[in-house]
Amino acid sequence: MEIPTSTLEIIRLALDEDIGYGDITSSLLIDEDHESRAVFIAKANFVLSGLPFTREVFYMLDPDITFNVFIKDGSKVSKFDVLAEVYGKTRVLLSCERVSLNILQRLSGISTMTDMFVEAVKGLNAKIVDTRKTTPGLRYMEKYAVRMGGGSNHRFGLFDGILIKDNHIEAVGSIREAVKLAKGSHHLVRIEVEVENLNDLEEAIEAGADIVMLDNMSIQDMKKAVRIAGGRVALEASGNVNLENVREIAETGVDLISVGALTHSAAAVDISMKIVK
């Protein structure tokens, strides 16, 4: 797996933030040549995600570190499972402990929440997708975690997808004009339009949108929207989606359900790193 340079830089900044001028505790207590083996242990049941980035944390401080993975990302793990091991200079292991755990716990939390949403709509047509509501700088890692949880990625950023939202429409004047302008410049990119009511849905379809996002619509209006669309466009449900209502939303027949909570509200899971004899 090739990690983007921008993500590697974020990992490096995280190490700089934590270590600063040096790990004074480890340097005072541990001999420079002392070596140890440490293991990552699950302290709960969850869906694992983040080991490639965790490995990179150690490699940045010492490329001679040995890092072995026992359970692959995307796997469901149980409490007390040993996820991976790392072997090398003890000072390096201790200096990397917190940053490596922060990444692994955060990403596994996202993949675990994603898995819960995917399971909730199992057997239905709708796909669970993420949003751009990610931690600044961590988008690549967090969207990776969504995939490990069985979800799909929406557009990565403003550069790789056209999504005409309410403020665009307000600035341009109408849905029809916004779609016309978008089609005139980017005929190879699918155009998605956000709508808040069924009249706007019909306008978006007639204007030539490829995907229509149903923003905060009621279940009844979503059902009507599916009938109106009749397969002419893909439909995405968005807004106030949670585990209690996601299956009912999927049952309306929409194609996509975007869930911002996957990345902005997932709780970190409990993982420990322990030095062993």
Residue numbers annotated as active site: 98, 133, 165, 194, 215
Cβ-Cβ contacts under 8 Å for 128 (sequence gap 6 or more): 114, 117, 118, 121, 150, 151, 152, 246, 257, 259, 262
What single-letter DSSP state applies at residue 30?
S
Query: What angle do the packed helices 139-148 and 5-19 form, to 10 degrees?
Result: 110
State phi, psi for 154 to the nearest 5 degrees: -80, -165
Q: What are the start-end ranges of the E strands in 135-200?
A: 162-164, 191-195
